[in-house]
Amino acid sequence: MNNRNYDLRQSIYEPTQIMVMRHVNKTYHTSVGKFPALKNINISIESGKLVSVLGKSGSGKSTLINLMAGIDHPSSGEVIINGSDIHKMSEGKIAVWRGKNLGIVFQFFQLLPTLSVLDNTMLPMDFCGTYRKTEREEIARNLLRTLEIEDLSESFPNSISAGHQQCAAIARALANDPPIILADEPTGNLDSKTGEMVINIFKKLVSSGKTIIMVTHDRKLANQAQRILLLRDGILINESLTNAFLELNEIILAKMDSKSETFEVNAGKSMFFSAKERSWFWILTRGAMTLSIEEKNIVTDALKTKLSAGDIIVNSDHVYKFTATEDCQILSIPLPEIISLSNIEIMQVEQVISRNLNTSGVNYATELA
Ligand SMILES: Nc1ncnc2c1ncn2[C@@H]1O[C@H](COP(=O)(O)OP(=O)(O)OP(=O)(O)O)[C@@H](O)[C@H]1O
Ligand SMILES: [Mg+2]
């Protein structure tokens, strides 16, 4: 195959999206009425990524993980994992599918107390009938060796430390070599040092090709992931906002998210924004563009700046011309008064922006203004 054909293939096939959620809603029916736990969730996750799910208690993190695991069904929308429409699968089918495709790690380990660490690790192989019976023990021992707890193979869960129990639970999750690991608060019952160890294990697994989705309350741990999904009251905050303003609390992020708007600009096309617009600032969420400022109907090319994904442009007294050098997506955050931010909240947002302004490599249009 010559290079040209190869390039063509690359452009046709998108990177593998191992997990896709489209317009997912989950409503619980309780004695006091309907409770929407997840609202219009859209997620697309490439394989080989460490993704954290962050949010306050009750924000819907476990509900999200349970939908991804097929433990629960969405009220509406689609959940497509590793190519399977799991929202359409029957309970019986899902159990076998899950055993082969997903490893699940829980906060309280959920190891069977009457089985040794080794037997706990072999359990998923027995359940799914994976590998020959004679091979299972060796595969389990190899996994325990990788997790550095082989010498605890014959021990029972209650006789080993919490950190070692979580390592055993991770070994069990890996037993059938699933492409995806889902972990609900895997460090929630561990001290910070042991929690750090678990994250390091996850990082290694991800570099060997696994996709890991991990729920946590801890922003410092969440920050070590390649992507952060932040939930607030069942709503997924725009990821670009989360990335840019992770140090701010969810209340501010949710206000900024609630009325933000997304624009698409195709490669080669331009778009004008003026100070009269309702935007406070913009985030270039995808693609690349150049930015010029128009003064008295003249676009001042001298001020042309190249922007890439993640860059923030603060609106000021100018007409801005965005020219997409690649297909672009821009998120527009409305003026503080439109989203009812208090003076303190406005200051907090501006502090983050100006702090980043001082770090090199990030472009801000205010520098030009
Ligand atoms: N089976 C259920 N029936 C009714 N309501 C439920 C059910 N499961 C969860 N909820 C509600 O849905 C919301 C989201 O719950 P979820 O367990 O997903 O939150 P969470 O983010 O995992 O919280 P935590 O950090 O405390 O684990 C909560 O308000 C919860 O009370
Ligand atoms: Mg939970």
Q: Which tens digits make up the pLDDT trace of 222-277?
A: 999 999 999 999 999 999 999 999 999 999 999 999 999 999 999 999 988 876 67
Q: Which of 98-102, 296-300, 339-343 has the lowest mean pLDDT?
A: 296-300
| CATH node for 255-367 | 2.60.120.10
Which ligand has an atom closest to residue 29 CA?
A: 1
Q: What is the mean pLDDT of residues 152-168?
A: 96
Residue range(s) of every CATH 3.40.50.300 domain in the chain: 18-236
| Ligand 1 cavity residues, CB under 6 Å | 28, 30, 35, 37, 55, 57-63
- pLDDT for position 113: 97
Q: What is the pLDDT of residue 298?
A: 58
Distance from the CA of 355 to the center of ligand 1, in angstroms? 36
More confident residue, 290 or 138: 138
The number of the ligand nearest the C-alpha atom of 38 reads 1
* pLDDT score at 362: 38
With a cut of 50, say whether residue 365 has pLDDT above it: no
Mean pLDDT for 105-118 is 95
Ligand showing the shortest atom-to-Cα distance for residue 53: 1
| pLDDT interval class at 307 (50, 70, 90) | confident
Residues with CB under 5 A from ligand 2 (ion): 61-62
Give me the sheet containing 227-232, strands edge to edge.
102-105, 180-184, 211-216, 50-54, 227-232, 235-236
Cβ atoms 183, 214 nearer than 8 A = yes
When the pLDDT of each residue in the chain is averaged and rounded to a whole number, the result is: 88
pLDDT at 181 over 70: yes
Class of domain 18-236: alpha beta
Separation CA 41–CA 25 (nearest Å): 7
Q: Which protein residue's CA is at the shortest distance from atom 7 of ligand 1?
A: 28
Domain with CATH 2.60.120.10 in the chain: 255-367
118 vs 300, which has greater pLDDT? 118
CA dist 270 and 206 (Å) reads: 39
Pocket test for ligand 1, best of 35, 214, 236 (most atoms within 8 A of CB): 35
